[in-house]
Amino acid sequence: MDTPQPKQFRILVIGDACTDRYYYGSVTRLSPEAPVPVLKHLYTEERLGMCLNVGANLEALGAVVGVLKNDEMIYKDRFVDAKTKQHLLRADFGESGTVQPIDPLKVDVSDYDAVVVSDYDKGFVSRAAANSITIKCHDADIPLFVDSKKKNLECYGHCFIKINEKESAEIQSLNDTAKLIVTLGGRGVEYEGVVYPTQECEVFDVSGAGDTFLAAMAHKYLETKKMPTSLKFANECARIVVQKFGTYCLKPEDLI
């Protein structure tokens, strides 16, 4: 008998996007001009960042993904010692007041099973857009998953909002129709007063772990409609990512 294939979900990702650039080099001396290391450049690597990393992880989980993102280029440049993978410096470009907000009228959720908002608060997802997305998802009866750096979260309702522990302490206002999910680093994640622990592991790099957690949680919730199950799965996926270097997207061998 043929085994039924799992449904391939269609998910719309909306949010701020960037390119993570890694400049690898060797460090053999200090600058004669100041007590800082001199990086002799060897090679450069680029990876998808922010909402594009969320989308890539959703695709790795089997989803068909649509993306609405900023057109302006945002770069996060990291200068890294190639031998030790030690970060020497990070420099960000292109996000200071130049990102144009999305037109809420261009957001069409009708062909999707869920919407994921990766709001790094760089300007693409305005409060008006967030409110419009909330209404459209609620009217279409599709789940909305949000990861936002905004401190005032009144604009996001009828949704699951994933933030970290530090961001949780800085919330100024929260929509009472939203359900809050707070990641606790090595202690796991808290939801509705319950902490779902994660397994201990050696943390190498936390870059992109929140993106992976968001993608894994949303996809598993579409499969099961059970948030505790989704959080346990997201914990495991994030645990894999923090043991990798740099912004990392799940691979088939990770999911096995």
Check whether 247 has a pLDDT greater than 90.
no
* 119 Cβ contact list (under 8 Å, min separation 6): 15, 16, 125, 130, 146, 147, 148, 149, 150
Q: Helix (H, G, I), strand (E, B), or coil: what is residue 172?
A: coil
Q: State the burial class of residue 2 (Cβ atoms within 10 Å of its Cβ: 0-12, 13-18, 19+).
A: exposed
> How distant, in Å, are the alpha carbons of 225, 247, 249, 250, 251 from that of 241?
24, 8, 8, 7, 10
Instruction: Determine, yes or no, domain membership for 104.
Output: no
In a domain, 2, yes or no: no
Please tell me the total count of domains within the chain: 1
Two tokens at 206? 């936390």
Q: 0.85 exceeded by the pTM?
A: yes
Q: Is residue 156 part of a domain?
A: yes
Residue 202 has pLDDT above 60, yes or no: yes
Pick 239 or 180 by higher pLDDT.
180
Question: At 5, is the pLDDT very low, low, confident or very high (cuts 50, 70, 90)?
Answer: low
- CATH value at residue 146: 3.40.1190.20
Q: What is the mean pLDDT of residues 204-227?
A: 90
Where does the pLDDT of residue 204 fall: very low under 50, low under 70, confident under 90, or very high at 90 and above? low
Residue 26 has pLDDT above 70, yes or no: yes
Per the model's pLDDT, the better-predicted residue between 131 and 245 turns out to be 131
Task: Return the structure tokens found at 157.
Answer: 């309702």
**Beta-bridge partners for 39:** 27
Lowest-confidence segment of 174-188, 207-221, 238-252 by average pLDDT: 238-252
The answer as to whether 223 is a domain residue is yes
The answer to whether residue 35 sits within a structural domain is yes
Residues 205/44, Cβ–Cβ less than 8 Å? no
Q: What percent of the chain has pLDDT over 90?
A: 79
Which pLDDT tens digit goes with each residue over 159-196?
A: 999 999 999 999 999 999 999 999 998 899 999 999 99
Return the pLDDT at 207.
Answer: 75
95-104, 133-142, 149-158: least confident range: 95-104
Closest CA to 21 of 43, 40, 4, 39: 43
* Alpha helix stretches (DSSP H) within 7-67: 51-60
Q: Is residue 107 part of a domain?
A: no
Q: Is residue 99 part of a domain?
A: no
Q: Can you tell me the mean pLDDT for 13-38?
A: 94
**Is residue 128 situated within a structural domain?**
yes
Dmax of the chain from CA atoms?
Answer: 73
Residue 27: give the domain boundaries: 10-94+112-245
pLDDT higher than 50, residue 1: no
What mean pLDDT comes out for the span 69-80? 94
Q: Closest by alpha carbon to 88, among 79, 97, 76?
A: 79
Judged against a pLDDT cut of 70, whether residue 34 lies above it is answered with yes
